């Protein structure tokens, strides 16, 4: 805009007004200042047509209004991108963690008016996830994280759906990642029983929790008997099998203690014993797989396909 004679830019204040179209009505934009640098409007009306005009003032000297300039700014028209870097989920436990990369690409678009309307990256601020069968639109948003801790549903296999949203409200495409639970061995299936017991404890149903723990004990009994039979058939020292049997007996002891503590006053102690048993069982299953045990104890085959993602850590439960 042109300033009247005698008005230097350094001594001049700008009055800026905004409207929804060229004809107005115009309203003042608060915070008008000198014309040394671009005038920034925050927040910009994302996706809505906006018109500006301005004039210069220096004491009693006031210029006429500038031409009206209009545009439809897009603060951030680019949706974010979600990447799951941990690969397909293969886990013995339902409590796992996904490693995510959340990116909000920049848009190169800038709209230049009398007042510059800048396009900036708003950043990923929220995400949500669901499992196959549950519409992701029905799930509430939560703060964005790089490591998404979640509990898988009680099914052998399925899909996890993840979506992100940036500050401007743009929503990413839904990313789908498959999961499969390891349920091959007796110990794997005992772990599944115990996690069902956790669900029942969370729901306050002690009787149902006890039934699940007892079911897991029956599977461990079978594993102990198979281990003893294998040891009796060994022609020499079988240290791997001794290690397996020792751990199985310790796990059984912890679970029997857990059952005895399943009372309102000692529920926290029962949960601690259950967590200790679960941790030992996960270690035991990994040990058997690493050593290639062909024992009936766990039902783990030396020829199991080991070309899979690293075992995802179990998320500690309080």
Better-predicted residue by pLDDT, 288 or 145: 145
Segment 288-310 mean pLDDT: 48
- Domain boundary among the residues 181, 197, 221 is at 181
Contacts of 205 (CB under 8 A, 6+ apart): none
Q: Is 201 part of a structural domain of the chain?
A: yes
With a cut of 70, say whether residue 313 has pLDDT above it: no
Predicted pLDDT of residue 64: 87
Q: Is 60 part of a structural domain of the chain?
A: yes
Burial of 146 (0-12, 13-18, 19+ CB in 10 A): exposed
Predicted pLDDT of residue 297: 45
Residues 15 and 97 grouped into a single domain: no
Q: Is 255 part of a structural domain of the chain?
A: yes
Residues 87 and 151 grouped into a single domain: yes
Residues 28 and 57 grouped into a single domain: yes
With a cut of 80, say whether residue 165 has pLDDT above it: yes
Residues 62 and 121 grouped into a single domain: no
What are the phi and psi torsion angles at 226 (to 5°)? Answer: -65, -35
The total number of structural domains in the chain stands at: 3
pLDDT band for position 73 (cuts 50, 70, 90): confident
| pLDDT, tens only, 228-287 | 988 888 877 788 889 999 999 999 999 999 999 999 999 999 999 999 999 999 999 888
| pLDDT, tens only, 98-121 | 999 998 886 444 333 333 333 344
Residues 177 and 192 grouped into a single domain: no
Chain mean pLDDT for the chain: 80
* Residue 14: domain span: 9-71
For the ranges 200-209, 234-243, 307-316, the lowest mean pLDDT is seen at: 307-316
Q: Is 296 part of a structural domain of the chain?
A: no
**CATH value at residue 145:** 2.60.40.10
Residues 273 and 206 grouped into a single domain: yes
- Domain boundary among the residues 181, 203, 219 is at 181
Residues 60 and 144 grouped into a single domain: no
Residues 37 and 62 grouped into a single domain: yes
Percent of the chain exceeding pLDDT 90 equals 47
pLDDT band for position 143 (cuts 50, 70, 90): very high
Q: Quote the pTM value.
A: 0.67
Contacts of 129 (CB under 8 A, 6+ apart): 136, 139, 148, 150, 160, 161, 162, 163
Cα torsion 276, 279, 281, 282 to 10°: value is 170
Residues 34 and 50 grouped into a single domain: yes
Better-predicted residue by pLDDT, 26 or 36: 26
Q: Is 310 part of a structural domain of the chain?
A: no
- Domain boundary among the residues 131, 153, 181 is at 181
Q: Is 297 part of a structural domain of the chain?
A: no
Q: Is 67 part of a structural domain of the chain?
A: yes
Q: Is 20 part of a structural domain of the chain?
A: yes
| pLDDT, tens only, 178-188 | 999 999 889 99
Residues 177 and 208 grouped into a single domain: no
């Amino acid at each position: 805009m042109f300033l009247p004679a005698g008005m230097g830019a350094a001594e001049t204040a700008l009055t800026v007004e905004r409207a929804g179209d060229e004809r107005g009505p115009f309203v003042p934009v608060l915070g008008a200042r000198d014309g040394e640098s671009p005038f920034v409007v925050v927040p910009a009306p994302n996706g809505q047509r906006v018109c500006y005009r301005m004039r210069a003032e220096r004491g009693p000297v006031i210029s006429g209004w500038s031409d009206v300039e209009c545009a439809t700014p897009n603060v951030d028209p680019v949706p974010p991108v979600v990447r799951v870097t941990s690969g397909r989920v293969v886990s013995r436990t339902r409590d796992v963690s996904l490693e995510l990369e959340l990116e909000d690409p920049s848009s190169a678009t800038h709209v230049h008016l009398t007042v510059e309307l800048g396009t900036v990256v708003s950043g990923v601020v929220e995400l949500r996830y669901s499992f196959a069968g549950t519409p992701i639109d029905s799930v509430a948003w939560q703060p964005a994280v790089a490591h998404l801790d979640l509990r898988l549903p009680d099914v052998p296999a399925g899909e996890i759906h993840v979506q992100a949203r940036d500050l401007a409200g743009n929503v990413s495409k839904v990313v789908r990642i498959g999961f499969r639970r390891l349920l091959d061995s007796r110990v794997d299936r005992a772990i599944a029983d115990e996690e069902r017991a956790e669900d029942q404890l969370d729901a306050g149903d002690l009787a149902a929790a006890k039934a699940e723990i007892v079911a897991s004990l029956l599977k461990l009994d079978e594993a102990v008997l198979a281990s003893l039979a294998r040891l009796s058939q060994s022609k020499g020292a079988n240290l791997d099998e001794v290690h397996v049997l020792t751990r199985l007996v310790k796990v059984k002891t912890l679970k029997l203690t857990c059952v005895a503590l399943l009372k309102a006053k000692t529920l926290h102690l029962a949960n601690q014993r259950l967590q200790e048993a679960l941790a030992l069982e996960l270690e035991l299953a990994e040990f058997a797989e690493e050593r290639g045990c062909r024992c009936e104890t766990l039902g783990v085959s030396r020829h199991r396909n080991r070309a899979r993602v690293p075992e995802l850590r179990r998320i500690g439960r309080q």
